[in-house]
């Protein structure tokens, strides 16, 4: 068991959670990513649904083995592109092995292509709680994007994290929209949802 993180504001929690995530990623990164891949069938995705993942930044749990497992099950994959600083994410079709370009904040995304609307979103995070609230880097990209996607239709949101990224209560703002599921190397957590 790791020590629990005391209640902190978003800025302080980002710092503490980042450090904790870096340590667990070094110690358990590849094993945890493999464990996530084993959950591909447990996410309840509709057949052939378009699933948007992410290209991992340092310390984030690596979603690529899970994305490969999803592709093998017949899902279409996509990656987010940051096309405008402070804007919303654009999702582009992608298959493992296809070329990527570097975007703002060190992100990697496929070259310009007609955007797709994902049915499910795999979401990176610094910390999560059992209500489904997440803390990100503070750019607000997922918040703004989710606000639009939720307005336009149904979307399943799945946070991906190391189990030790859980905190009792993530501090929230009015724009935060809770995730439906959190997948960790220990299994799938079903939250109260949106
Ligand atoms: N893998 C991944 N892709 C993503 C995100 C993410 O969190 N992770 N984003 C989520 O919104 C969007 C990009 N927005 C971002 C906004 C800020 C920072 C950021 O502050 N990065 C750190 C450096 C990251 C590192 O430690 O390598 C920084 O600049 O200090 C990163 C991404 C879309 N794509
Ligand atoms: N629906 C929205 N519409 C417009 N701006 C928004 C919306 N949601 C969030 N923002 C803006 O995004 C900024 C960052 O929000 P927050 O600190 O919650 O980011 P985060 O969830 O940690 O980051 P990210 O989503 O990029 O991983 C806030 O300053 C807020 O004004």
Q: Is the CB of 53 under 6 A from ligand 1?
A: no
The pLDDT of residue 1 is 55
User: Could you name the CATH architecture of 10-190?
Assistant: 3-Layer(aba) Sandwich (3.40)
State whether the Cα torsion 67-133-174-7 is positive or negative: negative
Distance CA 37, CA 32 (A): 9
* Dist. CA 47–CA 25, nearest whole Å: 31
Tell me, what's the pLDDT at 8? Answer: 86
Ligand 1 contact via 63 beta carbon (within 6 Å)? no
Report yes or no: 110 and 98 within 8 Å, Cβ to Cβ. Answer: yes
Whole-prediction pTM value?
0.95
pLDDT digits (tens, 9 = 90+) for 176-188: 999 999 999 999 9
Burial of 5 (0-12, 13-18, 19+ CB in 10 A): middle
Question: Is the pLDDT confidence value at 110 over 60?
Answer: yes
Q: How far apart are CA 179 and CA 158, in angstroms?
A: 6
Q: Is the CB of 158 under 6 A from ligand 2?
A: no
CB 64 within 8 A of CB 33: yes
The answer to whether ipTM exceeds 0.95 is no
CA of 4: how far to CAs of 16, 21, 67, 135, in Å? Answer: 11, 13, 30, 16
13 is in an annotated binding site: yes
156: how many CB neighbours lie within 10 A of its CB? Answer: 19
Q: pLDDT averaged over the chain?
A: 95
Tokens linked to 145:
């994007």
Q: Would you list the DSSP string of 94-148?
A: --TT---EE-GGG-EEPPS------SEEEE--SEE-TTS-EE-SSS-HHHHHHHH
Q: What ranges do the domains of the chain cover? A: 10-190
Flag whether 38 is marked binding: no
């Amino acid at each position: 068991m790791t020590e629990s993180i005391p209640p902190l504001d978003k800025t302080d929690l980002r710092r503490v959670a980042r450090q904790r995530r870096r340590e667990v990623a070094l110690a358990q990164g590849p094993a945890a990513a493999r464990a996530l891949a084993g959950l591909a069938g447990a996410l309840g995705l509709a057949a052939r649904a378009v699933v948007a993942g992410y290209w991992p930044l340092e310390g984030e749990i690596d979603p690529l083995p899970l994305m490969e497992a999803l592709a093998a099950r017949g899902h279409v994959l996509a990656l987010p592109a940051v096309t405008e600083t402070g804007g919303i994410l654009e999702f582009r079709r992608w298959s493992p092995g296809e070329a990527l370009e570097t975007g703002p904040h060190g992100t990697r995304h496929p070259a310009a292509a007609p955007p797709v609307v994902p049915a499910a979103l795999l979401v990176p995070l610094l910390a999560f709680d059992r209500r489904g609230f997440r803390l990100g880097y503070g750019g607000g990209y997922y918040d703004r994007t989710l606000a639009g996607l939720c307005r336009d239709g149904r979307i399943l949101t799945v946070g991906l994290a190391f189990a030790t990224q859980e905190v009792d209560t993530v501090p929230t703002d009015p724009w935060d929209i809770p995730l439906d599921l959190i997948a960790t190397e220990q299994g799938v957590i079903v939250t109260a949802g949106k």
